[in-house]
Structure 1
Amino acid sequence: MNTAQIGELVKKYLTYSGTVRSGVFCSVNDAVAVAQGAYIQYSKLTLNERQEVIEAIKKELLPMVNVIAKMAAEETGMGNVEDKIEKLLLAIRKTPGVEDLITEVKTGDSGMTLYELSSYGVVCAVHPCTNPCATLINNTISLLAAGNAVVHVPHPRAIQVSQFVTEMISVAIRDTCGIDNLVVTLGDTSMAVTRELMTHPDISMVVTTGGNGVLREALASGKKVIGAGPGNPTAIVDETADLKQAARDIVQGASFDNNVMCISEKSIVVVAAAAEELIEELKKNGVYYIHNEEEMLKLTSVTVTQDMGINKALEGKSATEILKAAGISCSEPVRLIVVDTIKQHPFVTLEMLMPVVPLVRAADFDEALETAFEIEQGFRHTATIHSQSIERLNRAAKKMQTSVFVKNGSSLAGIGYNGEGDTSFTIATVTGEGTTTARHFARRRRCTLMDAFSIR
């Protein structure tokens, strides 16, 4: 599909009745007011009708994933179109709907107590530039399944594509149940506007997926918050692991969408006895391996700033682009750059958001586990391990205490990609929910009936 065709599609969805856009507002008050009115209407629908709305959204979005992925890659300048397509398909196909709203019942001699999940109301949802559309779609489905309305706050680097997707969703809802502006977004997403939205009296909950700055604002809003914080996922590899499989899994996760995913492997900690064989297997999977000081310095100088931050101009760029920027020549196709280094290097301590992964050697498994724990920095986000030892798998899971922990697989399996379980793009580490689905975006309510409905 060429640029002109994409432009026509965008024009189609960004206009409604020729003049008024559905789902996009310049004023916080206007956005919240229309979402509140839509929520009141939506709350009258049955669960089956909610699911019909969700299925309509999926039907509308599926044919457009290629267009959305291309728009996101071009606007953000991060990642690649092919992997963004995979993320979008994952969000559309594997985000659970109303079936996720579990009911709990306790009965006894004194009667019955029922626990059910109800909506919050109008929710403010803040999204990152790394996964702007996959997160928006994933959270929209979950929030609507729970019975909420939502005002999306996209990252400034992804505002056009986020408005485009929101428009499509809003129109699909209107065409299905007659409710317009149940899902809306804003024309401006500065921090001042975001703060105004978070603290608006008609906002009942704030969901944040992004950096520490917006998370702090959310936590200070006085509202119910579901907050996804930073991560620095590490992969542990011991001498008992299937090293061919470990290399394939690590490269798949760490190179996916140029390593902008919060769950993707950001470092490797390998037991020394397995290091050389693992490195050879990594090379077979499209890895450019750096172990000399000259190339390490070149790569460090171009990717890490003088104030020990990451060079944002290279965020989400391909391994080939990064090597070229560093003045390192490579004639073979490269998916990932692996740098043999020490645990104090900035590549290890920073969440690079690039296909640049440090490899740190450890004398034995005990040292590897302690090193991985230190590298993860207590974010409790994601970790992976490759080992054939049940005892070590169990010990690592208990030690790391991460919200996502993957054993003998790619990090991507932790969000349902080629793995079991539902998909989530908001991993609420700070507020403790972990991988979030519809049930986490609903209030748990208790209803008790005395002296009845116990038939045991």
Structure 2
Amino acid sequence: MEHLKQKNPAPTNGPGGGPGNGIFDEVNEAVEAAWLAQKHLIALGLEKRERIIEAMRQAGMANVEMLARMEVEETGMGRYEDKVLKHHLAILRTPGVEDIRPEVFSGDHGLTLVERLPFGVAGCITPSTAPSETVFHNTICMIAAGNSAVISPHPAAKNVTLKAVEILNLAVQSAGGPVNLVVCLREATLQKASEIMKHPKINLLLATGGPGVVEAVLSSGKKAIGAGPGNPPALVDETADLPKAARDIVAGAGFENDIQCIGEKEVLVVEQVADRLIAEMAKSGAYLLKDEKEVDRLTKLVTTPEGQVNKDYIGKDAQVILHAMGIPAPDHIRVIIYEVPANHITVREEFLMPLLPIVRVKDVDEGIELAVCIEGGCRHTATMHSKNVDNMTRFARAIQTTIFVKNGPSYNGVGLGGEGYGTMTIAGPTGEGLTSPRSFTRVQRCTLVEGFNLRS
């Protein structure tokens, strides 16, 4: 795989030009190049797509450590070791062309073939929380589906996004694929993102990020898929295996310093077992704030005077936050836990930080009702720790999230340590769920009527 490692970037390509790195200065040039590349791709056939995707996977794996370090250094968020795992998930567990195999129906009245066809050129707006992982996931999905991709990077993660696009272009070309199958804008601005959304040759839009960008693509008038924010509650009832629940919740919220939208953002625990759960969490890498004064200091630190999330602490290690509070913390601490009422701002709002507010509830019924309210209809993720199947079923039906994890950390729900394929794009607002290549296709049904029956 040595030949797939990133070399010095080639000069910026123009529309339909020779080998290049897929980086463009102008939106129209980028879209035109991707449009031409997509026409070449669909003429190559599925077997060629498979070879291209395999080359992309090999190139990605050869550069995982470098991309993970770049992300941490550029964004200042998350943890290197967790980003390595996320890259492995995106590169190896994203489905390929097997996800779009056709269906066939035959019977007395003939034969019907159902195929999944590409949209054409997709505009992909990527986040700062998983920039290069999302590029790999989205690009593998798009190419498997027969689309090309125009990437609009997050301004806070522009350099690592560009590097991922360069690596992917080299890989596509090494497998005999067309140049510019994935392209990216050199500068990340709202104006260029808007131009991508409005361009007449962009047939599909995909946004992974906050509510603003998701709302923008959904109001574009085009086919759009939105992967928005969440506020995932973790509910613990009196039947739970408390040591395991504590370990799992700390692991889920501590992963990437909880910048992932799937991560546990608050804990609702039945009063009967609350003290025991808190004690077990403290044994499992959580730092317990000792009184209301410390909780108030934390609240003032992580919020602005206007009551908004203080972005200075998004994705930072728990030790950084505790240090800013004047509290020394050992290296093994992954999250900060504290008890608050259900109306506390860090319960009601999504804080992408290693914070776990704990709310006591009198019983599981109150916990379910409160969790549904706190999740806020995002339809994103929820977790529950229980040995009572009826309780878990009732919670799942009530909260109706895209991902519901029972007795495990939240990241099990996206294929990391759990079964099923991996994803970096969870389309709760538009209902596609965990995206895969079929999410980015349209269905064509072709029917041959009667006169064709091999059994007659």
TM-score bracket relative to the smaller structure: over 0.9
State how far apart, in whole Å, the 2-side matches of 1:104 and 1:407 are: 33
Equivalent pair of 1:118/1:443 in contact (CA under 8 Å): yes
Question: In structure 2, what is the equivalent of residue 354 of structure 1?
Answer: 353
Query: How is 1:45-444 mapped onto 2 (pairs within 5 angstroms)?
Result: 45-331=44-330, 333-444=332-443
Which deviates more from structure 2 when the two are superposed, residues 77-86 or residues 175-184? 175-184
Report what 1:4 is aligned to.
Answer: none
Distance 1:71 1:221 in 2: 32
Residue 14 of structure 1, CA deviation: 2.1
Counterpart code for 2:53:
I
Deviation digits for residues 402-449 of structure 1 (CA, Å, limit 9, x no counterpart): 000111111001100011000111110111101110011111111001
Letter in 1 for 2:10: T
Cα contact 1:118–1:444 (8 A) shared by 2: yes
CA contact (8 A) 2:256 2:315 kept: yes
Residue of structure 2 in register with 1:14 after alignment: 9
Give 1:17 shift.
Answer: 9.9
Q: Residue 268 of structure 2: SS of its match in structure 1? A: strand
Deviations 1:278-334 (A, max 9, x none): 111101111001241110011111101122211101100000001111222335631
In the alignment, what sits opposite 1:38?
37
Instruction: Give 1:64 shift.
Output: 1.0
- Paired with 1:370 and 1:244, the residues of 2 have a C-alpha distance of 25
Alpha carbons of structure 1 residues 224 and 338: separation in structure 2 relative to 1, 3 Å: same
Q: Distance in 1 between matches of 2:10 and 2:430?
A: 38
Letter in 2 for 1:112: L
Q: Secondary structure at the match of 2:369?
A: helix
How much has 1:104 moved relative to structure 2?
2.6
Per-residue deviation, residues 48-94 of structure 1 (Å, max 9, x unmatched): 11010000011111121110000011001101111101100111111
Q: Distance in 2 between matches of 1:126 and 1:320?
A: 32
Measured after TM superposition, the shift of residue 32 of structure 1 is 0.4
Rounded Cα–Cα distance in structure 1 between residues aligned with 2:331 and 2:197: 49
Asked if the contact 2:31/2:202 (under 8 Å) is kept, the reply is yes
TM-score, length basis structure 2: 0.95
Give the whole-Å Cα distance in 1 for the aligned partners of 2:295 and 2:262. 25
Distance of 1:331 and 1:57 partners within structure 2: 40
- Paired with 2:210 and 2:12, the residues of 1 have a C-alpha distance of 37
Contact 2:113 2:446 in 1 (8 A): yes
Distance 1:426 1:332, change over 3 A: closer
Where do 5+ consecutive residues of structure 1 fail to align? 1-8
* CA-CA distance at 1:133 after TM superposition: 1.1
Does the CA-based 8 Å contact 2:20-2:169 persist in structure 1?
A: no
* Cα separation, 2, equivalents of 1:454 and 1:432: 39
1:179 Cα deviation (Å)? Answer: 1.1
| TM-aligned CA distance change 1:438 to 1:20, over 3 Å | closer
Query: Tell me, which stretches of 5 or more residues in structure 2 are unaligned?
Result: none
Mapped partners of 1:102, 1:344: distance in 2: 48
Indicate the SS of the match to 1:358.
strand
8 Å contact 1:112–1:450 — kept in the other structure?
yes
Q: Report the TM-score when normalising by structure 1.
A: 0.95
Deviations 1:129-172 (A, max 9, x none): 01111111111111111011000111000000100110010111
| Amino acid corresponding to residue 395 of structure 2 in structure 1 | A
Equivalents in 2 of 1:414, 1:199: separation in Å?
A: 34
Structure 1 stretches of at least 4 aligned residues deviating more than 6 Å after TM superposition = 17-20
Residue 38 of structure 2 contacts residue 147 of structure 2 at CA under 8 Å; is this kept in 1?
Answer: yes
Matched residues in 1 for 2:342 and 2:28: separation? 49
Q: Quickly say closer, same or farther: Cα 1:178–1:241, change in 2 above 3 A.
A: closer
Instruction: Tell me if structure 1 keeps the 8 A contact 2:20–2:179.
Output: no
Output the CA distance in 2 between the equivalents of 1:45 and 1:385. 46
Q: CA deviation at 1:219?
A: 1.4
Contact 1:98 1:438 in 2 (8 A): yes
Partners of 1:260 and 1:328 lie apart in 2 by: 22
Q: 1:454–1:403: structure 2 CA closer, same or farther, 3 Å change rule?
A: farther
Q: Given the superposition, is the C-alpha separation of residues 20 and 120 from structure 1 closer, same or farther in structure 2, using an over 3 Å criterion? A: closer
Secondary structure at 1:203's aligned position in 2?
coil
Distance 1:280 1:392 in 2: 24
Q: Answer whether contact 1:316 1:355 (CA < 8 A) is retained.
A: yes
Note if contact 1:112-1:454 (Cα within 8 Å) is conserved in structure 2: no
SS in 2 for 1:207: strand
What do the CA deviations read for 1:10-55 (whole angstroms, capped 9, x no partner)?
6x24235999851100000000011111111111112111010000
Matched-pair contact (CA < 8 Å) for 1:13–1:164: no
For the 8 Å contact 1:291–1:341, the answer to whether it is kept is no
Asked if 2 retains the 8 angstrom alpha-carbon contact of 1:91 and 1:135, the reply is yes
8 A contact 1:107–1:454 mirrored in 2: no
CA gap of 1:82–1:331, structure 2 versus 1, over 3 A, is closer
| Matched length | 447
3-state DSSP class of the match of 1:50? Answer: helix
**Higher mean Cα deviation, 300-309 or 195-204?**
300-309
The one-letter code sitting in structure 1 at the alignment partner of 2:9 is L
Q: CA deviation at 1:113?
A: 1.9
Letter in 2 for 1:224: K
Counterpart code for 1:420 = E
Cα distance, 1:184 vs structure 2: 0.6
Q: Distance in 2 between matches of 1:116 and 1:156?
A: 37
Percent identity over the alignment is 44
